[in-house]
Amino acid sequence: MVMIDMSMDLWSLLLSARLWFFILMFAVSGVVLLTVVWFERKAAARVQMRVGPYHVSPQLGGYLQLLADAFKFIISEPIVPRGAHKILFVWGPAIFVTLAFGASLLLPLTPELRLIKDPSLLPYGLVFSLVILLLVSILIVIIGWSVNNKFAYIGAAREALLVAAYELPLILSFLAMVILYGTLNPIEIAQKQTFLVGAILNPLAFLVFIITTAMATARFPFEIADYEGDVATGPYSDYGGIFLVLSFAGGTYYATFSYSFLATLLFLGGWALPGYAPGPWPQDITGHLTLAIWVFLKTTALMFFFAFLRAAMPVLRLDHTLVLGWRGLLTLGFLAVVWSAALRFVGLAP
Amino acid sequence: MSAEKTTLGAAVKATIDALAVAARNFVKPERITIYYPYEKLEYGRMRGWIGLWTEKCTSCMLCARICPTNAIKMYPAPNGKRYPGIDYGRCIMCHFCIDVCPTDALYGTGIKELAWYDYKEMIYTPDMEREPPKIQEPYKSVKVAIKYVGGVPKKVRLQE
Amino acid sequence: MIRTEEYGLVLKEEKLEGGRRVLDLFWGPQHPTSGHTRFIVELDGDVVINVTPDPGYVHRTMEKLGETRHWIQNIPLFERLSLPDAINVTWAYAMAIERLAKIDVSPRAQYLRVIMAELSRISTHLYDLGLHAIMIGSSTGFMWGFGLRELVVQLWAMVSGSRTTPSWVLPGGVRTAPPDAFYEQTKGFLDYLEKKIDEFVRLVIKNPVGYYRLKDVGYLSKEDAARLMATGPAARGSGIDWDARRVYKYGVYDELEWGVCVEDGGDSLARTMVRICEIRQSAKIIRQALDRVPRDGPLVGEAVLHRMPPKQKETANQIIRLGSLFTTRLPEGEGLGITEGGRGRYFFHVYGDGTERPYRVRISTPSWQNLRAMIKTFIGARLMDLPAIYGSFGYFPPEQDR
């Protein structure tokens, strides 16, 4: 008979790095999302000669309006159209937001706070998160098909064309950074960036990554698949209530969050704080938490940039976007790879 | 797609210019939003609720005849004359009736904040037309106006 | 196996080359960008093959209503043809009545009408540019257009007493005189407007994203524009140099110095630049008129003033009482009123038959006239171009359906 020492296991369970990572990602990503949506509304309002959310919590600048809106969406009656494919219509948004968020769970937050325990499996985590992010867009096509509506059908076709256009440049920019660092291990990638972050070492790859992320997550100027002017928000045209907040408001923003998280790791230095190295995990909780907050701040700053684009840019036409993807971004992607290879050849790569 | 003047450099410069315009407006917003009902805009003349002094009315019925929406009906009074009553569901507040009245019996106010619970309450008879309706003011409102200061409109509070 | 025909996705097979099939899209009245009118769009992939308009959703029988009421009761009615452009519409009607009943207009009223009509033109252009911007996707352009319009609407409230429905133009003159604060406030507004229009152009039109949405989109050649009788910025964007203000010389337009904006491009970009240029020209006209407008004087011409009782004549410099107009009957005959509104030219033809009710009022609005030209430009464009072309024509269904 084996006696299990329950008290020791409970304490080590509570201090487990994976649990802390999980809770931090869920809680803080929700807060980050609300803050980014709040910033988007407020920044757009400031540019547009008006005041954004204000009356619900005037001292906080209307921040709690977001909670009120989310609450309204959640308690709203979910309506499933008669001709829609019922299973995919109902499950589509849930799978969408799970995949969009799940991609960021495969990346490490700090050297110790990560979900993948075995350090030799971390390179696979990096590649898999990129793969899952590319799968998210295919889900949009599935959602558009399940709605059974001509406008959604056109939106889904547009999304399929866009995926073909931005996928290669995204992979090329990823490849360029991997060539630059010479390793796929995210911990080593973050360690190699000091003041010269990835964006400065290879600005072409950063530019390509930014533009393809905007294409992938329907940020202006590429809100083409769910364009309100033409296809009446395309695949999401028959969604309302909880479905809408999971897919249109939640899923696309969670996808932006995951892309920004990946970009923070590759281009903005990850958790690297020059001159600061935390101790091992259970002893130095505050050090790791500081680094985690630093990563979240960088991610939020990048998401703020994407949110600000709504106020500044109109929407580009579909065939111009495809030309931009296949000609402009593909060339830039190849140039980024060549640049990284040249840096590595010369010996300036970290 | 590339025409005479649209080179890559020009396109990049125009994009950065557009982002700069948006950023400048973000940093210095030019808002003219009025936080109604805490603030109310001061209008000099506003065509609002129409009232009646029955002692001046001669029952010529010109107001009922000129009303573009047939909102005015004449109600017989005990002294044999007829006095106008206005149906505010139909009234568009063009003040044609005030402008045509030969004895200045109808007068105009600036009250536009009118709301009723029932259609039947909107039909005003001549005795209801004597005094303007009491408007509820749940908040103490401040009068504001938009003035141009330094080429930019600003909302200023008018001191009473 | 799911067949797409079951879901009703593809409705017909046309004999296109290669046996391709066509998708019918009902770009209908309940849609974010179609206004209140329906277009039945037939698509082959992303390219539009044919468009059938289905107007009449907001038909309000204004021409028939005009026959059943006193001619002065028609002024608030016809104003609601196109509320952003209220002054130009009612000016055309007033001009028709003036020509029919031989009523003259006082000089002060001419200047005041010009000032308010140019403000009305600016208001229409801001409205159209705002809607065009949101149809392209730029919500900032939308808010700026309507934010600037808020300032115009407050100016209208200062003059006439109502923000959006002035009911201010009478045959013979105008109804009320502007207060003294109006002149300074308008000058301040014009300074701000010119600054903001520059920013609008930089943000929406010169921005490569917006520029490529508009360039070479919806090309209307000069011959087609003349043959299909396009009017307003749609015609002037294709090189036709015609403006009713210059040709018919109404108001005091021939005494002021201004230019007609013409562009040669023929595409949506040219039409939008015509609008921007017209806003600047309107600001120039208003500035000149504000300097020259007589601050005192009767608001109506002699024909109406002569019939007013002395007690009402005393206040004829501030407000016009309507008794003398109400008792005027329309002689037998016809009168024509043509003005240049923001979207094109308004045409009113009034037949009188001796009573106070018009026998017939025929209205021709610019949106109805531009419909054919717009359909011609839709064909061959891509699906995402439809909102851009629609906005560049300044299409307004309530005006089209009357």
* Nearest-CA distance B128 → chain A (Å): 37
* Nearest-CA distance C282 → chain A (Å): 23
At residue A135, the pLDDT reads 87
pLDDT (mean) for B2-13: 68
* Nearest-CA distance C236 → chain A (Å): 25
Indicate whether B24 belongs to any domain.
yes
Scanning every residue of chain A, which has its alpha carbon at the shortest distance from the alpha carbon of C138? A314
* Full-model pTM: 0.91
Chain B interface disruption, residue of C162, C197, C304, most B CBs within 10 A: C162
Give C198's contacts in chain B (Cβ within 8 Å): none
B7 shares its domain with B68 = no
Cβ pair B93:C212 closer than 8 A: no
- What SS3 state is found at C91? helix
Q: Which among A150, A313, A320 is the nearest to C138, CB-wise?
A: A313
Scanning every residue of chain A, which has its alpha carbon at the shortest distance from the alpha carbon of B21? A312
- Contact residues for A43 (Cβ-Cβ < 8 A; gap 6+): A304, A307, A308, A311, B26
Chain A interface disruption, residue of C139, C150, C204, most A CBs within 10 A: C139
Write the DSSP assignment of C245-306 as a string of letters: HHHH--TTGGGS-------S--SHHHHHHHHHHHHHHHHHHHHHHHHHS-SSS-SB-HHHHT
- Look at strands B142-149 and B39-41 and give their pairing: parallel
Indicate whether C72 belongs to any domain.
yes
Residue B40 in contact with residue B142, Cβ under 8 Å? yes
Cβ of residue B112 closer than 8 Å to a chain C Cβ: no
Cβ pair C207:B65 closer than 8 A: no
Cβ pair C323:B62 closer than 8 A: yes
* Nearest-CA distance C256 → chain A (Å): 34
Listed by number, the residues of chain B in 109-128 with a beta carbon closer than 8 Å to a beta carbon of chain A are none
* Nearest-CA distance C189 → chain B (Å): 7
B25 shares its domain with B56 = no
Indicate whether C253 belongs to any domain.
yes
- What SS3 state is found at A293? helix
Give C381's contacts in chain A (Cβ within 8 Å): none
Cβ of residue B32 closer than 8 Å to a chain A Cβ: yes
* Nearest-CA distance C160 → chain B (Å): 8
At residue C215, the pLDDT reads 87
CATH code of C282's domain: 1.10.645.10
Question: What ipTM was assigned to the predicted interfaces of this complex?
Answer: 0.87
Helix axes C107-136, C139-160, angle to 10 degrees: 160
Cβ of residue C11 closer than 8 Å to a chain A Cβ: no
* Nearest-CA distance B149 → chain C (Å): 9
Chains B and C: how many Cβ contacts under 8 Å? 102
Per-residue confidence of chain C (402 residues) as pLDDT tens digits? 344 444 445 555 555 566 667 777 888 888 888 788 888 888 877 888 888 888 888 999 999 998 998 999 999 999 998 889 999 999 999 999 999 988 889 999 999 999 999 999 999 999 999 999 988 888 899 999 999 999 999 999 999 988 999 999 999 889 999 998 899 899 999 999 999 999 999 988 888 888 888 888 888 888 988 899 888 898 998 888 888 888 888 888 888 888 898 988 888 999 999 999 999 999 999 999 999 988 888 888 888 888 888 888 888 888 888 888 888 888 999 999 999 988 999 999 999 888 888 999 999 999 898 998 989 898 888 888 888 898 888 888 888 888
At residue C41, the pLDDT reads 86
Domain boundaries, chain A: 13-51+81-346
* Nearest-CA distance B26 → chain A (Å): 5
Chain C interface disruption, residue of B45, B97, B113, B156, most C CBs within 10 A: B45
* Nearest-CA distance C284 → chain A (Å): 25
Cβ pair A314:C7 closer than 8 A: no
Give B21's contacts in chain C (Cβ within 8 Å): 199, 202-203
Residue B3 has pLDDT above 80, yes or no: no
Q: Which among C137, C143, C204 is the nearest to A223, CB-wise?
A: C137
- The number of distinct structural domains making up chain B is 2
Q: CA–CA separation, C283 vs B64, rounded Å?
A: 41
Listed by number, the residues of chain C in 12-41 with a beta carbon closer than 8 Å to a beta carbon of chain A are 23, 25, 31-33
Q: CA–CA separation, A327 vs C5, rounded Å?
A: 36
- Contact residues for C396 (Cβ-Cβ < 8 A; gap 6+): C35, C82, C128, C343, C367
CATH code of B97's domain: 3.30.70.3270
Q: Which among C9, C46, C138 is the nearest to A318, CB-wise?
A: C46
B24 shares its domain with B62 = no
Scanning every residue of chain C, which has its alpha carbon at the shortest distance from the alpha carbon of A228? C32
Distance of CA B130 to the CA centre of its chain: 21
At residue A88, the pLDDT reads 87
Cβ pair C323:B25 closer than 8 A: no
Indicate whether B73 belongs to any domain.
yes
**Sign of the CA dihedral A76, A77, A83, A89?**
positive
**Which chains contact C through at least 3 pairs of Cβ atoms less than 8 Å apart?**
A, B
Write phi, then psi, for A30 (nearest 5 degrees). Answer: -65, -45
Strand partners, B86: B72
Scanning every residue of chain C, which has its alpha carbon at the shortest distance from the alpha carbon of B3? C215
Residue A153 in contact with residue A144, Cβ under 8 Å? yes
Question: How would you label B105-135 residue by residue, b for 16+ Cβ within 10 Å and e otherwise?
Answer: bbebeeeeeeeeeeeeebbbebeebeeebee
Residue C301 in contact with residue C329, Cβ under 8 Å? no
Scanning every residue of chain A, which has its alpha carbon at the shortest distance from the alpha carbon of B19? A312
Indicate whether C54 belongs to any domain.
no
Please give the helix or strand (H or E) that residue B149 lies within, else none: strand B142-149
Per-residue confidence of chain A (350 residues) as pLDDT tens digits? 555 555 557 777 777 778 888 888 889 998 999 999 999 999 999 898 888 888 888 888 888 888 888 899 889 888 888 888 888 888 988 999 999 988 888 888 888 777 877 888 888 888 998 899 888 888 888 888 888 778 888 888 888 888 888 889 999 999 998 888 888 888 888 888 877 778 888 888 999 999 999 988 888 888 888 777 677 777 888 888 888 888 888 888 999 999 999 999 888 888 877 777 777 777 777 888 888 888 899 999 999 999 998 888 888 888 888 988 898 899 999 999 999 899 888 877 67
**Residue indicated by tokens 């390793």:** A183
Residue A185 in contact with residue A282, Cβ under 8 Å? no
- The number of distinct structural domains making up chain C is 1
Question: How would you label C285-316 residue by residue, b for 16+ Cβ within 10 Å and e otherwise?
Answer: bbbbbbeebeeeebbbbebbbebbeeebbeeb
Cβ pair B31:A323 closer than 8 A: no
pLDDT averaged over every residue in chain B: 85
Cβ pair B31:A50 closer than 8 A: yes
Chains A and C: how many Cβ contacts under 8 Å? 88
Cβ of residue A334 closer than 8 Å to a chain B Cβ: no
Give C189's contacts in chain B (Cβ within 8 Å): 148, 153
- The tokens for B63 are 């107001």
Cβ of residue B104 closer than 8 Å to a chain C Cβ: no
Q: Which of C371, C165, C169, C350 is nearest to C250 (CA)?
A: C169
Residue B1: pLDDT band with limits 50, 70, 90? very low
Domain that holds residue B68: 50-129
Cβ pair B29:A311 closer than 8 A: no
Chain B interface disruption, residue of C180, C202, C213, most B CBs within 10 A: C202
pLDDT (mean) for B84-91: 90
